[in-house]
């Protein structure tokens, strides 16, 4: 998606940043359940990863991440809301087990 930027934060984690100004009204409703202007700073929003996900080797190399950590486990990840962006920190795992 063109409105999302991935930034390395450590050898096994990355921050996804969504530029909310570039989202259409429909995209805002799909992402947040309502228009972004109606989201409050104190609201607890989460990104839900419904299934375990394996990042591609090329993606990991592109961000200079440790290629041994390639899995994002299913679960909820907290979204951090700012004036014109939303960020989610994703920590990758070496395996899908415990």
Asked, for residue 98, whether it belongs to a domain, the answer is no
Asked, for residue 23, whether it belongs to a domain, the answer is yes
DSSP helix/strand/coil, 89: strand
Q: How many structural domains comprise the chain?
A: 1
Asked, for residue 63, whether it belongs to a domain, the answer is yes
Strands 85-91 and 13-19: antiparallel
Q: What is the pLDDT of residue 6?
A: 95
Opening angle at CA 69, ends 45 and 77, nearest 5: 5
What order do you get walking across the sheet with 4-10 strand by strand?
4-10, 13-19, 85-91, 75-81, 46-49
Q: What is the pLDDT of residue 98?
A: 61
**64-98 residue pLDDT tens:** 999 999 999 999 999 888 888 889 999 999 998 76
Asked, for residue 41, whether it belongs to a domain, the answer is yes
Whole-model pTM: value is 0.84
Name the nearest CA neighbour of 14 among 59, 49, 50, 52. Answer: 59
Q: What is the DSSP letter of 32?
A: H
Give the residue numbers spanning the domain of 39. Answer: 4-91
Q: What tokens appear for 46 in the block?
A: 């989460």
Q: What is the pLDDT of residue 81?
A: 82
């Amino acid at each position: 998606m063109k409105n999302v930027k991935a930034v390395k934060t450590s050898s096994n984690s990355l921050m996804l940043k969504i530029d909310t100004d570039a989202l259409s009204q429909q995209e805002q409703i799909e992402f947040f359940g309502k228009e972004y202007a109606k989201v409050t700073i104190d609201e607890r929003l989460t990104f839900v990863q419904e299934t375990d996900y394996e990042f591609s080797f090329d993606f990991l190399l592109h961000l200079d991440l440790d290629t041994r950590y390639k899995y994002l486990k299913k679960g909820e990840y907290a979204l951090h809301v700012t004036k014109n962006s939303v960020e989610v920190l994703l920590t990758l795992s070496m395996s899908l087990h415990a």
